[in-house]
Each structure stands twice: as C-alpha cells, then as structure tokens.
Structure 1
Amino acid sequence: MNPEIAAYIGYSASLFLVLSFILKDVRKIRIVNMIGCICFVIYGIFNGMLWPVIIPNGLICIIQIYHLMAGKKS
C-alpha cells in the first residue's frame, strides 16, 4: 500500500478518537471511537503488522460492539 494513504488512515483514526471525546451521547461516542479503532487497526496492518497498534484497538473495537449490542437489548 502507498505509505501516503496509510498516513491518511492514521490521521483519520486520530481525528475520530479526538472527536469521540467531544461528544456527549454515549452511543455516538462508542460509534465514533469504534470507527477510529478500526482505522487504527487498518493503519497497523498497512504499516507492517504493528501489533502494539492492532491488538489494543481491535480489543477496544470488540468492546464497543459488545456495549452497543447490549444497549439495544435493554
């Protein structure tokens, strides 16, 4: 992959993470944060399997999905 595209994905991930701190609605926070985590996982994969980036963001994404799905049940 083009390193420039990977860099844009990383910047997008950072932007989504920062935006998630601005929001007040918990559901929106989880969704925006999850998008940022997905971008970080993609960034980690495209930059040579950066496991310290991929693993925590993948886990956070799974946690966000769990809480979003659990919230719909109640």
Structure 2
Amino acid sequence: MSPEITDFVGYGASFFVVLSFVMKDIKSLRIVNLIGCILFVLYGIFSDYLWPIIIPNGVLCFIQIYNLVKKK
C-alpha cells in the first residue's frame, strides 16, 4: 500500500479515537471507537505489521463488539 494511503488510514484512526472521547452516548462512543480501532489495526498491517499497534487495537475491537452485542 502506498505511504500516502497508509498515512490517511492512520490519521482517520486517530480522528475517530479522539472523536469517541467527546461522545456522550455510550453506544455511539463504542461504535466510533470501534471504527478507530479497526482503522488502527489496518494502519498497523499496512505499516509492515506494527504489532504494538495491531494487538491492543485488535483486543479493543473485540471488547467494543462484545459490549455492543451484550447491550442488545
């Protein structure tokens, strides 16, 4: 993947994670944070497998999905 696209994925991930901190509704917060975490996982993969980014964000993805499904 080109470095420019990889950078945009990283910036997008950062945007969604920061945006999740200003959300008041917990369901919206989890969805927005999940998008950010997924983008961070993709960023880590596109950046030659940066495991310190992939592992925690992958775990957070599962936590967010679990909590979203559990709440229904």
Given the two structures, how large is their TM-score scaled by the length of structure 2? 0.99
Correspondence for 1:45: 45
Q: Which amino acid aligns with 2:8?
A: Y
For structure 2, list consecutive stretches of 5 or more residues without a partner in the other structure: none
Aligned Cα RMSD in Å?
A: 0.3
List structure 1 segments (4+ residues) > 3 angstroms apart after TM superposition: none
Q: How many residues align?
A: 72
Identity %: 61
Deviation at 1:52, TM superposition (A): 0.1
Deviation, 1:30, is 0.2
Q: How far has the Cα of 1:17 moved from its partner? A: 0.4
Which 5+ residue runs of structure 1 have no aligned equivalent? none
Aligned mates of 2:17, 2:49 — CA distance in 1 = 21
Q: Secondary structure at the match of 1:22?
A: coil
- Residue number in structure 2 paired with 1:14: 14
Amino acid at match of 1:27: K
